[in-house]
Amino acid sequence: MDRRKKYTQMVLKESFLKLLNEKNLSSITVKELCQLADINRSTFYSHYADQYDLLSKMEEEIIDDMTLYLNGCNLTKEDEAEQVTEKLMEYIVKNKEVCQTLLGGNGNAGFLQKVMAVAKENIKKSGSLENQLSEDIAEYWSTFIVSGGIYVIKNWLERGMDKTPKEMAGMINAFANSGFNMLKIH
């Protein structure tokens, strides 16, 4: 992709995030997006079908980028849970604006579902539940932990990231482990 296309997409994404911070997705028009980005509508349509397509592509990029980032960590099994969570928190810090916007009130609820699906898949890949919980209980537990973790992250973002990524990772993993230990007792 040439520099002009990259620049155009970057400006459109930045303008879109700005608008998404101010209002709901359904209230954003391509016209106002183009005005804010100082881009012709025809240029916008050469890249995206509409504002929903732009959002979808941004979400896909974040999910792919997050997955690549986490896969590149090269952690051992013993280190994995807390360090992967810490790496995720560091990723969020590096991409604060886009994560805050996409996970915020004006974002797309579908994005939360995508993030949850990726997180649940990583839990299943780790194999940490296979020998300890039945498949149906493991599914409920992973849904509970991932949902709770995402909402803890949202709260952390709303509070201005008042804790370090390491502190947040420790907290999230402590919550998850205490819930897991309670499940094993019952």
* Residue 83 domain-assigned (yes or no): yes
Mean pLDDT, the chain, whole residue set: 82
pLDDT of residue 126: 58
Question: CA geometry: angle at 118 spanning 17 and 149, to 5°?
Answer: 75
- Give per-residue pLDDT as tens, 118-127: 777 766 665 5
Q: Mark whether 123 and 78 lie in a shared domain.
A: yes
* Cβ neighbours for 172, distance < 8 A, ≥ 6 positions apart: 85, 149, 152, 153
Q: Mark whether 76 and 166 lie in a shared domain.
A: yes
Q: How far, in Å, CA of 91 to CA of 169, rounded?
A: 12
| Counted domains in the chain | 2
- Give per-residue pLDDT as tens, 19-61: 998 998 889 999 999 999 999 999 999 999 999 999 999 989 9
Question: Which residue segment(s) compose the domain that 84 sits in?
Answer: 58-185
* Residue 53 domain-assigned (yes or no): no
pLDDT of residue 141: 78
The pLDDT of residue 79 is above 60: no
**Bigger pLDDT: 142 vs 155:** 155
